[in-house]
Amino acid sequence: MSYVFDLERSAKGLRLNRFLHSLIDAAQRKLFLEQPEAAMEELSEEEKDMVRRLDWRAMQDYGASFFCLEKLARTKGVSNPEMVAHFRGETLEAFLRTRRVPGAR
Amino acid sequence: MARIVGGIGTSHVPTIAMAFDKGKQQDPDWKPLFAGYQAVAKWLAEKKPDVLFFCFNDHATTFFFDQYPTFALGVSEEYRIADEGLGVRKIPRLKGDAKLARHVARSLVDDEFDLTVFQDLPLDHGVHSPLTMMWPSQPDWPGRVVPLFVNVLQHPLPRPSRCFALGKAIRKAISSYPEDLKVAMVGTGGLSHQMIGERAGFNDERWDREFLDLIERDPERLAQMSIADFARLGGNEGAEVVMWLIMRGALRPDARKLHDSYYLPMTTAMAVALFE
């Protein structure tokens, strides 16, 4: 499948992306960490489920922008190499073995 | 009259800022990155440009998809630092050159580049991750910035040829500014990387080296490529290097590359190059 973030994906992912984007606000991050269901009120059940499970691949396939997913990752303390490994379908350790400087993160 | 004294191409990977903020200058994993920026920092300290004209992209931080410009020029006196999910970096707010920016906006629209303008918005790592590698931020920045936002996130993206032409129009705009100012162009992004899909983690050093050569010698050839070409060769997210074409378009056609450096530790090839 194509992962190009085009207007079709943007339209489908708008509500989810809006939630992910809201995490640039410190108060919203606090709410999400303390009362996730309250922070996710606007989302559909399907969307909430993907966020609860931090299923990066499912969110990406659904229409989440990588750059909006980064906001959720930072809030939950997940690094980009961890997300990239997830997209590739491998463990972080396996992904790092493919890198030139695994400590540079 | 204002004049362009040179140009810089640079990656804007967020971990560059992380390494800087954590003081990793001597860490063996990061030392080659910092070493690569020394020549650029020295050049800036010697040339003392009044303004850095920054062609950058926001990362769905300040600009969101409910309203997404293709090109947007910052025309403020000052820019806050954006919170991207980890709190705000402890660096001073950026000083803008509002007067120059307004002149550039008028000149570009007159030249049929109908861009968006923005003011009083925070800037994310697209600008300040490379900036702290090149300019001292303490006690305060030594000069001002004019930020030009480019859509490299939501397709359709502007064509590489359009980016190159925009650079030429920016040269015309800056050259017609009556004040005696020195301006350095900065084009950010890349080099090869892909953050999404099964091909996440993709890089191609051979293509990156070719890009670093062509951006000096034959930018017209790069400008004739498509966004799809750039994405195939340098990864989906690597196509953002079209922002280097804006910088290059604003330089003299015969500008020479004085320095470049390439480091590929993790997912994104980090490069910096200096042109005069």
- CB-based contact A27:A6 (threshold 8 Å): no
CB contact under 8 A, B198 and A88: yes
pLDDT over threshold 90, residue A1: no
Range of the domain at B132: 3-275
| C-alpha span between B171 and B183 (Å, rounded) | 10
CB contact under 8 A, B265 and A7: no
Which residues, in sequence order, are CB contacts of B38 under 8 Å at separation 6+? none
> Whole-angstrom distance between the N-terminal and C-terminal Cα of chain A?
29
Q: Could you tell me if residue A105 is inside a domain?
A: no
| Virtual torsion, Cα A68, A70, A76, A79, nearest 10 deg | 170
- CATH number of B262's domain: 3.40.830.10
* Length of chain A (residues): 105
CB contact under 8 A, A84 and B195: yes
Q: Could you tell me if residue A59 is inside a domain?
A: yes
CB contact under 8 A, B64 and A21: yes
Query: What is the rounded average pLDDT of the residues A14-18?
Result: 98
**For testing contact with chain A, the best of B20, B29, B62, B266 (most A CBs within 10 A):** B266
CB contact under 8 A, B267 and A4: no
| Smallest Cα distance from B178 to chain A, Å | 40
| C-alpha span between B259 and A92 (Å, rounded) | 35
Q: Could you tell me if residue A85 is inside a domain?
A: no
Which residues, in sequence order, are CB contacts of B75 under 8 Å at separation 6+? B96, B98, B101, B102, B105, B117, B118, B119
Residue A105: the pLDDT is 87
Q: Could you tell me if residue A27 is inside a domain?
A: yes
Q: In Å, what is the CA distance from A54 to each residue of A27, A93, B93, B188?
A: 20, 19, 34, 30
CB contact under 8 A, A5 and B201: no
From chain A, which residues contact B within 8 Å (Cβ)?
1, 3-7, 10, 14, 17-18, 21, 23-26, 29, 60, 65-68, 70-75, 80-81, 83-84, 87-89, 95, 98-105
Query: What is the rounded average pLDDT of the residues A7-26?
Result: 98
Q: Could you tell me if residue A100 is inside a domain?
A: no
| C-alpha span between A82 and B38 (Å, rounded) | 31
- Give how many domains chain B has, as a whole number: 1
Q: Could you tell me if residue A103 is inside a domain?
A: no
Reported confidence tier of residue A2, pLDDT bands at 50, 70, 90: low
Closest-CA residue of chain B to A96: B266
Q: Is ipTM over 0.90?
A: yes
- CATH number of A71's domain: 1.10.700.10
pLDDT tens string B197-229:
889 999 999 999 999 999 999 999 999 999 999
Residues of chain B contacting residue A58, judged by C-beta atoms under 8 Å apart: none
Residue in B63, B82, B74 with CA at minimum distance from that of residue B119: B74
Q: In Å, what is the CA distance from B184 to each residue of B44, B81, B156, B236?
A: 9, 21, 29, 28
Query: What is the rounded average pLDDT of the residues A4-16?
Result: 97
- CB-based contact B6:B185 (threshold 8 Å): yes
B263 forms beta bridges with: B270
Residue at token pair 């090109």: B71
Around Cβ A76, how many Cβ atoms within 10 Å?
14
Tokens of A102: 């695994």
- Give how many domains chain A has, as a whole number: 1
Q: Could you tell me if residue A101 is inside a domain?
A: no
Question: In this complex, how many residue pairs, one in chain A and one in chain B, have their CB atoms less than 8 Å apart?
Answer: 104
Closest-CA residue of chain A to B82: A24
Range of the domain at A47: 7-78
Q: Could you tell me if residue A88 is inside a domain?
A: no
Helix and strand numbers (H, E) in chain A are 8, 0
Active site residues of B: 125, 193
| Smallest Cα distance from B231 to chain A, Å | 10
CB contact under 8 A, B267 and A24: no
Per-residue pLDDT of chain B (276 residues; tens, 9 = 90+): 999 999 999 999 999 999 999 999 999 999 999 999 999 999 999 999 999 999 999 999 999 999 999 999 999 999 999 999 999 999 999 999 999 999 999 999 999 999 999 999 999 999 999 999 999 999 999 999 999 999 999 999 999 999 999 999 999 999 999 999 999 999 999 999 999 988 999 999 999 999 999 999 999 999 999 999 999 999 999 999 999 999 999 999 999 999 999 999 999 999 999 999
Closest-CA residue of chain B to A95: B201
Closest-CA residue of chain A to B155: A6
pLDDT tens string A39-74:
999 999 999 999 999 999 999 999 999 999 999 999
- CB-based contact B73:B149 (threshold 8 Å): yes
